[in-house]
Amino acid sequence: MERAYKMFVKWTGMANLLGGGVLVALSRAPLIKMVASGPGFWVLAGFLSFSGAVLVWASSDPLERAPVIFWEGVLRLWAALSFTLMPDWPLAKVVVLGDGSIGSIYILGLLLVMRVSLKTAICGQASSPAK
């Protein structure tokens, strides 16, 4: 089960990386250029790429990097909650269900599958200094 959790974190991170890359590629299309000219577009593309890279990194050792995965889960739950306020937007339900599910799996997986305490998930553990 732990291996499946690691793979889930890794592949959702790779999907974020791909999403950021797709946004950058789409920004070159003439029709999208109007939307992609704003700074919010580039913030979103950069955020997706960065969070994807960090999740791929964290998936290699989720016990040591638990706070990264935990806070990414909180971020996804916050995104899902935010999109409930935009019910008229066509993709709002997809974001709510997708990000809400992924965020829940990140957090519950850390606590139940990886058996990380809530304190460790939020703050991490203090490492002992190298001797």
Q: Where do the structural domains in the chain lie, given as residue ranges?
A: 2-122
| pTM (two decimals) | 0.83
Cα separation, 47 vs 55, whole angstroms: 12
For residue 129, what pLDDT band results from cuts at 50, 70 and 90? Answer: very low
What pLDDT, on the 0 to 100 scale, is given for residue 125?
Answer: 74
One-character DSSP codes across 10-49: HHHHHHHHHHHHHHHHHTTSHHHHHHHTSHHHHHHHHHHH
Count of alpha carbons within 13 angstroms of residue 7, beta-carbon side = 4
Residue 131, pLDDT above cutoff 60? no
Helix/strand/coil for 68: helix
Q: Work out the mean pLDDT of the chain and round it to a whole number.
A: 86
What pLDDT score does 34 carry?
Answer: 58
